[in-house]
Structure 1
Amino acid sequence: MVQIRRFILIDNVYKSKILKGKKTSTIRFGNYEAKPGSEVYLAITPSDSVIAKIKITDIKKKRVKELTLEDARKDGFKELNELINALNKIYGTLHGDDEVTIIEFDVIEKFEEAIPLKWLKALNYRKPEEIAKLYVENDLKESADVDLIIKRIYSKGLKSAVRKYGPKKVKDSLLKAYHKLYDEGKI
């Protein structure tokens, strides 16, 4: 069994449909577990970039032969055979008795700027903007470089900071800011 706790990965080809509300489920081969009502991050592959936060609304177990047109449409397909073909492409040939898990969700927050999943993990699943906001609003000081970069994230966004200072410096500054917030008891 695979438990979904913090994030779920979905192929980049489905990004647009998800963000437009045309794909509100994902169907996985095998036994997946998640709690309806739980909020998780949605990361797209192959870049492993987080593009949204979703709320899991339902989990269903079915056999492949029990999948319906409604299941296909919620998963962003027009026809059931399109869904089956996509599943076969991803998982290899599935048979009628193979079990799948249908994970239904609502997008509750779209991110204007994708966040690298590994950064989110390193920040204990806190968004970079949240770290920057807490750091600036609590008037914390780490070093001149960290302060400058974190203030850039706070005022102009993550993408702007990465363009100006590079991903490594931004990531390192976020980690230092996160640890400073933790040490000060702010998170």
Structure 2
Amino acid sequence: MERINFDSEYVEPIISGRKITTVRRGIKSYPVGRIVELTAGGNTFALARVNKVVVKRVRELSDEDAKRDGFETRDELISALKRIYGNIKGEEFVTVVHFEIVKS
């Protein structure tokens, strides 16, 4: 089964339903319609169905994207991406993975 790994700080927002997407640097391939394991620290904390995968540039991320990802604003989301990935530029591609928890 495929996995999507998260930092432990995102486990609670995912389980509570406040975070229903993840933004990954680069153009990634995720199995739409399939169940994947959500992990943190090497441990599975939930199973989720991948509903949609959207590729866009960092500069195209919106406040709505940020809210689905558990942030208040686009700026908060960009700050988190910079903390995780280092220097990320507006023209770089990211993959937005939409998911829903099927078992936690």
TM range (shorter): over 0.9
Return the structure number with greater relative CO, CA threshold 8 A, min gap 6.
2
Q: Distance in 2 between matches of 1:40 and 1:85?
A: 27
User: In the alignment, residue 54 of structure 2 is paired with which amino acid?
Assistant: K
State the TM-score, normalizing by the size of structure 1: 0.55
Higher strand share: 2
> Which residue of 26, 33, 39 maps to 1:37?
33
Give the unaligned 5+ runs of structure 2.
Answer: none
Give the unaligned 5+ runs of structure 1.
Answer: 111-187
- Percent sequence identity is 35
| Runs of at least 4 residues off by over 2 Å | none
Partner of 1:109: 103
Aligned 1:14-53 pairs, distance under 5 A: 14-44=10-40, 47-53=41-47
> Which residue of 69, 84, 92 maps to 1:90?
84
Q: Which of 1 and 2 has greater Rg?
A: 1
User: In the alignment, residue 18 of structure 1 is paired with which amino acid?
Assistant: I
- Secondary structure of the equivalent of 2:33? coil
Query: What CA deviation, in whole Å up to 9, does each residue of 1:124-152 have, x standing for no partner?
Result: xxxxxxxxxxxxxxxxxxxxxxxxxxxxx
Equivalent residue pairs, number = 104
Q: Distance in 2 between matches of 1:42 and 1:107?
A: 9
- Secondary structure of the equivalent of 1:33? coil
Higher helix share: 1
Q: Distance in 2 between matches of 1:13 and 1:65?
A: 25
Structural RMSD (CA): 0.8
Query: What CA deviation, in whole Å up to 9, does each residue of 1:75-105 have, x standing for no partner?
Result: 0001110000000011111111000000010
Q: Distance in 2 between matches of 1:34 and 1:87?
A: 19
Partner of 1:12: 8
